[in-house]
Structure 1
Amino acid sequence: MNFEQNFTSFHLDILKEVGNIGAGNAATAMSQLLNKPIEMKVPSVKIVNFEEITELVGGPETVVSSVFLRIEGDAPGSMFFMLPVKQAKRLSRDLIGEELAARSEHAFSELAISALQEAGNIIAGSYLSSLADFTKLNVEPSPPALSIDMAGAILSFGLLELSRAGDHAIVINTTFIDQSEHLAHEIQGYFFLLPDPDSFKKIFQALGVPLDE
């Protein structure tokens, strides 16, 4: 399948709608978790090849916080929610406070790691629930696993160990906006959905926009 030729703006619009609904659900859950108003936006959705994934977060040697989940069911695949480490630090401070999150530049307290894992679980779960609602496919996430490492190492370990990922990923650009401050600040992250080779076609068939037409 030639993905670059078969994907159209209509396919991406469908994926963006899935992402927007997922982001809305995630924002509600995050607002409840933080007890303050949080807005989430999806500025863009892309289909990228494997080599482009790490470039989006700054390159393979960029240290990131990554929550990984495996998807099982009708459309198996892998999910990553990645934040550059500076953005992850900001999010952890929002979640648990400055002092509890503070460590060295790339180190996080155990409480901060737990909070980031929970946030990643909420966001990934919200996107996956949105996809399931749109497609009516039965998809279930594994428990989340959080890593703080170079982006290239995280992706290589997560995908090579599984040896089931396809060559392309759906990338949902995700922006958090904390509305509680006088000057609202933004946190930029990336949600990657990497369907197994046969799952791309299943997803789009279920969405009513087959890739081979």
Structure 2
Amino acid sequence: MGYEQKITSMHLDILKEIGNIGAGHAATALSTLLDRKIDMKVPHVKIVSFDEMMEMAGGADNVVVSVFLRIEGDAPGSMFFLLPLAQASAFVKLMIHDEHFSFEASPPSELGLSAMQELGNILSGSYLSSLSDFTQLNLLPSVPSLSIDMAGAIIGFGLIEISQVSDYAIVIDTALKEVTAEDAEFVNGHFFLLPDPDSFNIIFQSLGMHE
């Protein structure tokens, strides 16, 4: 029986708590960076199949903004942070104080692209730090890379190695917004954590699940 079939609601609650701790760290970092109060939460954590990943991203042909990084250390793997174009644009506008910025413009401004990469860097670093503290695993993020492409092409890149052994990934829903803006709505994105073949076992064993 694979790990994905043995995961209980308790294990998902642990992963959600790890995600919320990471979200708290990220919210603090973003609030300092933007000099305004940012609220973040993790409404859901799920174990999903690769087909479900595509559905959550809006389908293989849906164009998204993605920040990708490799995880090195005790449990190597890949991590994607995906946002729809409109929602990514909305948060970058806040970061760079440019109401005209859009990822649908061709090409987007270098300042906007750098801001999005920094957003992904802060979020992924916060989540990995939380996961590392909770599991006592040494997890080190690579420099993140930014892509604007169809979800199928972006996610497929990260599945080349893992798909030979596993068919599942950990998804951490992420919602963030500016607290002080009365009309602000949550910007909703997805973190997809794709442990390498051996790392899925390592992570869940560190959380107390053993074969």
TM-score category (smaller protein): over 0.9
Matched-pair contact (CA < 8 Å) for 1:85–1:106 = no
Q: Aligned AA for 1:59?
A: G
Quote the residue 1:129 is aligned against. 129
Query: Displacement of 1:50 after TM fit?
Result: 1.1
Q: Aligned AA for 1:127?
A: Y
Quote the residue 2:44 is aligned against. 44
3-state DSSP class of the match of 2:43?
A: coil
Quote the residue 2:157 is aligned against. 157
Structure 2: gaps (5+ residues): none
- Using the size of structure 1 for normalisation, the TM-score is 0.92
For 1:137 and 1:4, the matched residues in 2 are separated by 20
Q: Aligned AA for 1:187?
A: V
| 1:138 equivalenced with 2:172 (yes/no) | no
Q: Aligned AA for 2:12?
A: L
Judged with a 3 Å threshold, the aligned counterparts in structure 2 of structure 1 residues 149 and 171 are, in CA distance, closer, same or farther, namely same
| 1:18 equivalenced with 2:28 (yes/no) | no
Written as runs of structure 1 = structure 2, the 5 A alignment for 1:51-200 is 51-99=51-99, 101-102=101-102, 104-105=104-105, 107-160=107-160, 163-164=161-162, 166-200=166-200
- Using the size of structure 2 for normalisation, the TM-score is 0.93
Structure 1: gaps (5+ residues): none
Query: Displacement of 1:184 after TM fit?
Result: 2.8
Query: Displacement of 1:107 after TM fit?
Result: 4.5
Query: Displacement of 1:106 after TM fit?
Result: 6.8
Query: Displacement of 1:132 after TM fit?
Result: 0.4
For 1:122 and 1:68, the matched residues in 2 are separated by 12
Query: Displacement of 1:126 after TM fit?
Result: 0.3
1:5-43 CA distance string (max 9 Å, x none):
211101101100100000000000111111100000100
Q: How many residues align?
A: 209
